[in-house]
Amino acid sequence: MITFNVHHIAHNSKIYGPSNRDVIWFKGCHIRCKGCINPQLWSFDKENEMKLIDVLNNVEANDITLLGGEPLDQEYLLELIVELKKRDIGIILFTGYSYKELTGRKLQTVKLCDVVISEPFDINKKDDSLYLRGSSNQILTFNTNRYQHSDFLEKTEYELVINDTLEFRGRKNISFIEELLK
């Protein structure tokens, strides 16, 4: 059965790329970069195992960002991407793998994404001024013209979302603020 190890799905986000997006955080990462801000997502222990159809049914926006953990370490990410493209969903994929070293299904998968933000986080090249990137070695690859470079100049780091609950999100380490809101 096609399933995914999902940590969290968020809706109505504006800080993980242009447009109002859905965001999926997958769980599990083989890369384990020194200084990663999400080490709690390294483990492959099942947390919230979701079937492909259930993930798709959770997609509300026309644009989505996939991150983690390491999305490409999900065995069936290619199948999910194919289904998202059939629905004309714009996809931004974060991966800690080096784009030029990808082969096989992983390479097939990234090539289907509109934008890929790749390369492992390098703590020696950490740069907090970069939009959507933690270190200067990380690169954006545009595989389609759905998004433009100018879409990736936004600097907003945090957002407060009022759904049925109050949710505070950030692209940097905001665990101290999350603790305050608990």
- Applying CB under 6 A, the residues found at the interface with ligand SF4 are 29, 31-33, 36, 38, 41, 68-70, 96, 120-121
Residue (25 or 152) nearer to ligand SF4, CB: 25
Residue (33 or 78) nearer to ligand SF4, CB: 33
Whose CA is closest to 100, among 70, 120, 121, 84? 120
The torsion region of residue 148 among left (phi > 0), alpha (psi -120 to 50) and beta comes to beta
Rounded to a whole number of angstroms, the minimum distance from the CB of residue 67 to ligand SF4 is 8
Question: Distance (Å, rounded) from C-alpha 134 to C-alpha 5?
Answer: 24
- On whether the CB atoms of residues 5 and 47 are closer than 8 A, the answer is yes
Residue (123 or 160) nearer to ligand SF4, CB: 123
Chain position carrying tokens 């999902």: 6
Residue (41 or 116) nearer to ligand SF4, CB: 41
- On whether the CB atoms of residues 55 and 24 are closer than 8 A, the answer is yes
Rounded to a whole number of angstroms, the minimum distance from the CB of residue 103 to ligand SF4 is 18
Residue nearest to ligand SF4 (CB): 96
Rounded to a whole number of angstroms, the minimum distance from the CB of residue 75 to ligand SF4 is 16
Rounded to a whole number of angstroms, the minimum distance from the CB of residue 21 to ligand SF4 is 19
Whose CA is closest to 31, among 102, 92, 124? 102
